Amino acid sequence: MVKLTINGRNIEVEAGTTILQAAEKMGVFVPTFCYDPQLSLVGACRMCVVEVEGARALVASCCTPAGEGMVVQTDTERVLTARRANLSLLLANHPLDCLTCEKAGNCRLQDYCYLYGIEKSEFSGEQKEFNLDDTNPFFVRDMNKCILCGLCVRTCHEINGAGAIEFIKRGFDSKVTPAFDDPLEKSSCVFCGMCTDVCPVGALTPRQGMGKGRSWDLDKVKTICPYCGTGCGLELFVKDNVVMGVQGDVDNPVNRGQTCVKGHFGVDFLSSPERLTTPLIRKDGVLVEASWTEALDLVASKLKEVKGTEIAGLASARVTNEENYLFQKLLRMLGTNSIDHCARL
Amino acid sequence: MTNSIGEIENAKAMLVIGSNTTDAHPVLGYRMRMAKRKGAALIVADPRRIELAEDADVFLQLRPGTNEALINGLINVIITEDLMDRDFIAARTEGYEAMAAAVAKYTPEYVAEITGVAADDIRKAARLYGGAETAAIFYTMGVTQHTSGTATVLTIANLAMLTGNMGKPSGGVNPLRGQNNVQGACDMGALPPVYTAYQAVANEENRAKFGQAWGAELSATPGLTVTEIMDGAMEGKVKALYIMGENPMLTDANLHHVAEALAKVEFLVVQDIFLTETAAKAHVVLPAAAFAEKSGTFSNTERRVQLLNQAVTPPGEAKADWEILQDLAQKLGFNWQYAEPWDIFDEITSLTPSYGGISYERLYVEGGLQWPCPTPEHPGTPILHGATFTRGKGLFSPVEYTPPAELTDGDYPLVLTTGRNLYHYHSGSMTHRSKAIEAHSPEELAQINLEDAARMGICDGDLVKLSSRRGELKTRVQLTDMVPPGVVFMTFHYKDAAVNLLTNDKLDPVAKIPELKVCAVKMEKSAS
Ligand code: SF4
Ligand code: SF4
């Protein structure tokens, strides 16, 4: 264990804990762009700098281990000046279209500029002019908004393993893109969408829900993916009774926020116009709309007409435990054990 | 799975057989690659050069339908080179001698003849698996959808027990369940011979227990499985069929047979969220709520029970399946009074020992629990078979190789094998109605090898006619070296190229799973 002081308060942490983790443990806020607990540390964005007594320069708290007896200050004037300069530099080169940006309200650049009072950049210079990559149906990439934190690159390599995107070029021309600067459709991208989840700014925007709701209008509901047996936790974004978007649920122990393309971009079938909305009964060979009473009366009478053992049912690997339980209960109460489902398929 | 998802990334060695994990269980595929980057050995056995094969230390590209021979070959090498865990065998298992005798003839050279995998690769794989401190096996339908599926599962268990890889973190035998709640459907007794948690219907005590709880006289007559239900319908023995949330008109083997059976049934009720191919044949269709429109629980492949929370209301008059079932039960004269899914869950846990300690309160606070979880204090069970097996000692089973039911011949010279792609899901009733997914992956592209294509003058994107003894279809093709010469791969996602028109409905004798992974077909170029 290591003892240190952060903003005048003592804390004891396990050896190997970083200053950032120690601060988080105490509930002390430290801003970050490039840090993610599931990814390798790069210490690139310099937002998390803090002052350590005795150290000449400010240190990046995300990749500096807490040392015995360390005295750390997270918000001295020197720290704040460094963060402001940092933000100012990023802003010099960032479109200021927050009025229409999908990320507004959920953007770390916006939040930190608000927090540190950066209204506009003190630097002026060239603006990036990259083309939008809107060639795939899942999300749009606007590299003019990218702040080069590298979270998407590391997610793609370290979490997914697809390795579809990289940094190319240096300095002002630096950008994140697939090999040969191709559109994503031509790369090894598998459209898991995890890069869009980690992007702290508005550079990677899922199409579903674009222009349909501000981030603060969306309710978040945690549930479980309807597709494969992994059972990933998903967070659904809901507005006006419609699911507008999906992210992996980082608190879910199964997937820790990770998803594939189906979970991330494949649940808009919910609002498909083809959904069944009323019971249907076959009359003269065609299925016609019917009331619940009519439909269930018919089903009940038909089930009563035949012997229990002449009834069979297929339950479903797609509905809940409760529903499967009731299904087999109902059929078995009617006198049949012929209940199966497609576990074999 | 005997083990848990969280353990995958710490595996020391992994044998992935008959599982295209990065497509069918992508997040588990990420974890396997994480383990690989951390230094784990990866052995991939599949007839196709799947994505994971690129990361493999050894890739065993075996002929479709030869899994059990390959596993026997691995066991043979492990025994010959003395890589087994003698202490584990002595303390925890029985039947070793008989199993060892059975695999004696499966030398790498003999197995190479059957599987087409080089003998040295078999040795290398056996050394990687057998030499690792702990090693995990993962498999899916590529193992089970064969007439020899049960045999392969048994010999996989042999391999894991032989090396003492049971009951240890990052080890075990891990079938990856295909559908979000297939584990739960099995746990809940949606199988003919068992009530919840595999309590046998044949057992009189169980019948009495459930009969009393439900207030009904319960039948001891054995029930029919899916395929038997379809046969029963053909023979007029099954008169009323109630299908909830399934689409056998695309997913079952030999679709012509399924269509005939459904047409024969006197009364067909289908409850679903879309008018699926199956629902279109029904006499009554009941509109159901989808996952985001209700609450309840799902049980995932690692036996973790997790809570669903309702996010939106169902469209129109659609209702949650449990509400529909309750309304129907009441019309049938049963006094069901569940106000919420958790009332149902409470009843489940009171009748189901392995779910006994789980409650909505705990799921909410603890975020999912893995059964067995028999008491409210029990933390759940991430790893099965820790100290003993369910039956006490683990039983080795001698397993012999049997070829697939249908072999290629002059008329049908190609092997057809089936599976999934990353984008679509099962019969696609959901994913085909997802705009982005459908835009990205709108049609079937059967995979054929470049050599076969060149010989037949077929180009990438051409339309071909594929036929088997049971049916025919047209599909576009992609030329690829993912499949070896002589093998065609198709998914079962697309109704315009419904591969199950071709597949063989010959069953594994025990598990009654059809041999969807191997049948013989012929291919012809098609003009339109
Ligand atoms: S969507 Fe997934 S695979 Fe594609 S670039 Fe983003 S992280 Fe990589
Ligand atoms: S997000 Fe993908 S991997 Fe996760 S449960 Fe859904 S389908 Fe499976």
Q: What is the mean pLDDT of residues B460-474?
A: 91
Same domain, B273 and B307: no
Q: Is residue B485 part of a domain?
A: yes
Q: Is residue A116 part of a domain?
A: no
Q: Is residue A44 part of a domain?
A: yes
Q: Is residue B391 part of a domain?
A: no
Q: What is the mean pLDDT of residues B10-21?
A: 94
Residue nearest to atom 4 of ligand 2 (CA): A232
Question: In the structure encoding, which two tokens stand for residue B17, read together?
Answer: 């057989």
| Cα separation, A155 vs B212, whole angstroms | 54
Is A261 close to ligand 1, i.e. is its CB under 6 Å away?
no
Q: What is the CATH number of the domain that holds A7?
A: 3.10.20.740
Task: Give pLDDT tens digits for B383-410.
Answer: 888 777 777 888 999 989 988 888 888 8
Same domain, B436 and B344: no
Same domain, B129 and B212: no
Q: Is residue A298 part of a domain?
A: yes
- Give the residue from chain A lying closest to B510, CA to CA: A344
Q: Give the pLDDT band (50/70/90) at residue B320.
A: very high
Question: In the structure encoding, which two tokens stand for residue B418, read together?
Answer: 């089936």
> Last residue of a domain, which of B347, B375, B403?
B375
Same domain, B476 and B354: no
**Residue B422 contacts A where some CB pair is shorter than 8 Å:** yes
Q: Give the pLDDT band (50/70/90) at residue A254.
A: very high
Q: What is the CATH number of the domain that holds B259?
A: 3.40.228.10
Q: Give the pLDDT band (50/70/90) at residue B246.
A: confident
Same domain, B72 and B96: yes
Q: CA angle, A27 as apex, A22 and A33 as ends, to 5°?
A: 75
Same domain, B354 and B327: yes
Same domain, A222 and A235: yes
Interchain proximity B306–A224, CB inside 8 Å: yes
Same domain, B369 and B503: no
Q: What is the mean pLDDT of residues A91-98?
A: 89
Interchain proximity B201–A258, CB inside 8 Å: no
Q: What confidence score (pLDDT) does residue B419 get? A: 86
**Residue A135 contacts B where some CB pair is shorter than 8 Å:** no
DSSP state of A160: I
Cross-strand partners of A237: A220, A245
| Cα separation, A219 vs B242, whole angstroms | 37
Domains identified in chain A, total number: 4
Ligand lying closest to the C-alpha of residue A261:
2
Q: What is the CATH number of the domain that holds B443?
A: 2.40.40.20
- Give the residue from chain A lying closest to B6, CA to CA: A254
> Last residue of a domain, which of B375, B398, B429?
B375
Same domain, B96 and B44: yes
Mutate to test the interface with B, among A318, A327, A330 (most CBs of B within 10 A): A318
Same domain, A254 and A292: no
Task: Give pLDDT tens digits for A217-236.
Answer: 999 999 999 999 999 999 99
3-state DSSP assignment of residue B163: coil
**Residue B516 contacts A where some CB pair is shorter than 8 Å:** yes
Q: Give the pLDDT band (50/70/90) at residue B76.
A: very high
Q: How far is the CA of B112 from the centre of ligand 1 (A)?
A: 39
Task: Give pLDDT tens digits for A9-59.
Answer: 999 999 999 999 999 999 999 999 999 999 999 988 999 999 999 999 999
Same domain, B34 and B157: yes
Q: What is the CATH number of the domain that holds B201?
A: 3.40.50.740
Residue-range definition of the domain harbouring residue B185 = 178-223+288-375
Q: Is residue B201 part of a domain?
A: yes
Q: What confidence score (pLDDT) does residue B528 get? A: 65
**Residue B21, pLDDT above cutoff 90:** yes
> Last residue of a domain, which of A75, A97, A127?
A75
Place of tokens 């080169």: A93
Do the bridges between strand B93-94 and strand B394-395 make them parallel or antiparallel, or are there none, so unpaired? parallel
Same domain, A22 and A63: yes
Contacting residues of B for A336, CB less than 8 Å apart? 219, 221, 223
Same domain, A265 and A326: no
**Residue A345, pLDDT above cutoff 70:** no
CB atoms within 10 A of CB B454: 12
Q: Is residue A96 part of a domain?
A: no
pTM: 0.92
| Cα separation, B158 vs B169, whole angstroms | 18
Q: CA angle, B384 as apex, B383 and B385 as ends, to 5°?
A: 125
**Residue A164 contacts B where some CB pair is shorter than 8 Å:** no
Q: What is the mean pLDDT of residues A53-76?
A: 94
Amino acid letter, residue A303: L
Phi, psi of A252 (to 5 degrees): -75, 125
- Of the listed ranges A58-62, B56-60, B150-154, B266-270, the one predicted with least confidence: B150-154
Task: Give pLDDT tens digits for B297-307.
Answer: 999 999 999 99
CB nearest to A308's CB, from B144, B219, B300 = B219
Same domain, A340 and A293: no
Q: Are B492 and B421 in contact (CB under 8 A)?
A: no
DSSP state of A156: I
| Cα separation, B295 vs A236, whole angstroms | 14
| Cα separation, A238 vs A218, whole angstroms | 5
Is A189 close to ligand 1, i.e. is its CB under 6 Å away?
yes
Same domain, A9 and A35: yes
Q: Are A78 and A128 in contact (CB under 8 A)?
A: no
The average confidence (pLDDT) of chain B is: 91
Same domain, A23 and A63: yes
Same domain, B17 and B55: yes
- Global ipTM: 0.91
Task: Give pLDDT tens digits for B271-299.
Answer: 999 999 899 999 999 999 999 999 999 99
CB nearest to B224's CB, from A233, A278, A312 = A312
Q: What percent of chain A has pLDDT over 90?
A: 83
Same domain, A328 and A285: no
Residue-wise DSSP of B328-394: HHHHTT-----SSHHHHHHHHHHH-GGGTT--HHHHHHHS-EESP--STT----SSSSSSSBTTBSE
**Residue B31, pLDDT above cutoff 70:** yes
Rg of chain B, C-alpha, whole Å: 24
Domains identified in chain B, total number: 4
Q: Is residue B385 part of a domain?
A: no
CB atoms within 10 A of CB B379: 10
**Residue B38, pLDDT above cutoff 90:** yes
Cross-strand partners of A133: A141
3-state DSSP assignment of residue B263: helix
Q: How far is the CA of A89 from the centre of ligand 2 (A)?
A: 39
Q: Which long-range contacts (CB under 8 A, 24 or more apart) does B87-91 make?
A: B87/B164, B88/B161, B88/B163, B88/B164, B88/B166, B89/B161, B89/B162, B89/B164
Q: How many helices (H) and strands (E) does chain B have?
A: 19, 19
Q: What is the mean pLDDT of residues B318-343?
A: 96
Residue-range definition of the domain harbouring residue A329 = 308-345
Same domain, B363 and B493: no
Q: What percent of chain B has pLDDT over 90?
A: 67
CB atoms within 10 A of CB B440: 18
Task: Give pLDDT tens digits for B77-112.
Answer: 999 999 999 999 999 999 999 999 999 999 999 999
Q: CA angle, B334 as apex, B329 and B338 as ends, to 5°?
A: 70
Same domain, B314 and B452: no
**Residue B207, pLDDT above cutoff 90:** yes
Q: Is residue B398 part of a domain?
A: no
Same domain, A22 and A50: yes
Do the bridges between strand B487-491 and strand B414-419 make them parallel or antiparallel, or are there none, so unpaired? parallel
Q: Is residue B408 part of a domain?
A: no
Q: At what angle do helices B96-103 and B67-80 cross, to 10 degrees?
A: 110
Q: What confidence score (pLDDT) does residue B441 get? A: 86
Rg of chain A, C-alpha, whole Å: 27
The average confidence (pLDDT) of chain A is: 93
Please identify among residues 184-213 of chain A the ones whose CB lies closer than 8 Å to any CB of chain B.
190-192, 207-208
Same domain, A12 and A71: yes
**Residue B116, pLDDT above cutoff 70:** yes
Q: What confidence score (pLDDT) does residue A343 get? A: 60
Q: What confidence score (pLDDT) does residue B432 get? A: 83
| Cα separation, B488 vs B499, whole angstroms | 11
- Give the residue from chain B lying closest to A185, CA to CA: B440
Q: What confidence score (pLDDT) does residue B58 get? A: 97
Q: Are B361 and B349 in contact (CB under 8 A)?
A: no
Q: What is the mean pLDDT of residues B187-192?
A: 92
Ligand lying closest to the C-alpha of residue A234:
2
Q: Give the pLDDT band (50/70/90) at residue A344.
A: low
Q: Is residue A180 part of a domain?
A: no
